[in-house]
Amino acid sequence: MLKDSRFFNISTLIIKVTNRCNLDCLYCYENVSRLGVDMSIETYKCLVDKTLSNTTQSSINFLFHGGEPSLISNQWYEQAMEYTIQMGKKYLKKVVFSMQTNLLALPDAKIDLFKKYDVQLGISLDGTFEENTAQRGAELRVLQNYNKLVNNNLKVGILSTINVDNFDKFDKICLFFESIKIKSFKANTVYNVGRGLNNQVLETSHVVQAQTSILKHMLNTKGLGLIEQNTLLELKRFFGQKTASSLCHDQVCGAGKLAMGITTNGDILPCGRFQWNDSQYYLGHIAAKEEDYFNKLNNFQNEAPENWLNCKNCGASKICRFSCQAFIVRSKDKINQECKPTIEKFNFFVEHHEALKLILANVEKGQRANVLFTIKTPQGPKEYHFNQ
């Protein structure tokens, strides 16, 4: 069998298993509906075969995405994950399952499925349930289902968005998260793409206000309370620590090389932050021969170059996460709207240098205290923690 170089370095697959969704979020970067198309099991198996037979990576994350992936039946997931495990053994690959879900519905059978296959879950929570801090809705139900997951000892990551309705409430949101024993979360900036293309624009001052509130909360708790993961990465970079390459936080991201987005029909997108029918960014089909894949990928990565012209001369490049190229090119103005807020944040870091150094030290001290054991890997030592 001829090797397919598109998959050589793939370690993460963002699999849009359905176009359907049971929510109607105002800022959604997709255009989904309650009616839509689901991925066939044959398409999924083709993806598994292509990836595991070609990738040189030892561990592959199969991230079920959508739409809303929890709408797919347990029977489909049982068949899909059993096949993936079987093929993982054949090709001597470790397979990991994860799912990004709105957590609107959580029947007991889904919890059993998640436990059986050790599915790592990411959920969206933009605010408290006591006031209108989100553009999603059903926050109380999501919180109730989150508690069900925690009570069943499942791994859950929290993703929040900074949007026009909640940017001025992150002081309250941080306190709320701590009150329900959330230890860490990510706060990502909303771009006007997909369904939210014509929404009110999130201004620089809005992003700065939200991120400053988060930073002040971390200062007040001295790094012993709630941690925002994007800020933690920036702090590590600010204080000169070497940080591992990631899918998203380098100037040229891992889209299309380390990660792929896969539509319900098996079309390849650079990553999962494209709309399922963004045909102008299709890189080919999983079952088709490789044709001009890397040229198309380079065209995507090099679009809107004006956003990066001043990076080498910018002091804030020391902490910069470079935003999301997929969101930039899909927006109307094709502007990196996180550039100016990053400069503001860098100035805040300089002003609060010593206090922020204490935060980082306390976070790392807490992480070291939770180490169960360390093993050697070809990439260096890997620590295993209580909370993994």
- Residue pLDDT, tens place only, 332-359: 999 999 999 999 999 999 999 999 999 9
Q: Which of 37-41, 84-88, 259-263, 367-371 has the lowest mean pLDDT?
A: 367-371
Residue 129, Cβ density class (10 Å: 0-12 exposed, 13-18 middle, ≥19 buried): middle
Report the percent of the chain where pLDDT is more than 90.
75
pLDDT score recorded for residue 134: 57
- List the domain range (segments joined by +) for residue 185: 5-385
The tens digit of pLDDT for each residue in 29-65 reads 888 777 789 999 999 999 999 999 999 999 999 999 9
Residue 314's pLDDT band (cuts 50, 70, 90): very high
Bridge-based pairing state of the strands 380-385 and 268-269: unpaired
Query: What CATH number is given to the structural domain containing 327?
Result: 3.20.20.70
- The pLDDT, as a whole number, for residue 378 is 52
- pTM, entire model: 0.91
190: phi then psi, degrees, rounded to nearest 5: -80, 135
The domain total for the chain is 1
Is the pLDDT score of 220 beyond 90? yes
What pLDDT was estimated at residue 381?
Answer: 61
pLDDT cut 70: percent of the chain above it: 91
Peptide bond before residue 67 is cis, with ω within 30 degrees of 0: yes
pLDDT given at position 135: 61
CA separation for the pair 124, 248 (Å, rounded): 18
Burial of 380 (0-12, 13-18, 19+ CB in 10 A): exposed
More confident residue, 134 or 221: 221
Confidence of residue 237 (pLDDT cuts 50, 70, 90): very high
pLDDT at res. 294: 96
Mean pLDDT of 230-254: 88
Is residue 137 very low, low, confident or very high in pLDDT (cuts 50, 70, 90)? low
Res 173 pLDDT > 80: yes
Per-residue confidence (pLDDT) for residue 374, from 0 to 100 = 46
Three-class secondary structure assignment of the chain = CCCCHHHCCCCEEEEECECECCCCCCCCCCCCECCCCECCHHHHHHHHHHHHHHCCCCEEEEEEECCCHHHCCHHHHHHHHHHHHHHHHHCCCEEEEEEEECCCCCCHHHHHHHHHCCCEEEEECCCCCCCCCCCCCCHHHHHHHHHHHHHCCCCEEEEEEECCCCCCCHHHHHHHHHHCCCCEEEEEECCCCHHHCCCCCCCHHHHHHHHHHHHHHHHHCCCCCCEEHHHHHHHHHHCCCCCCCCCCCCCCCCECCCEEEECCCCEEECCCCCCCCCHHHCCCECCCCCCCHHHHHHHHHCCCHHHHCCHHHCHHHHCCCCCCHHHHHHCCCCCCCCHHHHHHHHHHHHHCHHHHHHHHHHHHHHHHHCEEEEEEECCEEEEEECCC
In this prediction, residue 377 has a pLDDT band, given cuts at 50, 70 and 90, of low
More confident: 120 or 370: 120
Q: What is the mean pLDDT of residues 124-137?
A: 68
Segment 300-316 mean pLDDT: 93
Which residue matches tokens 């793939």?
A: 10
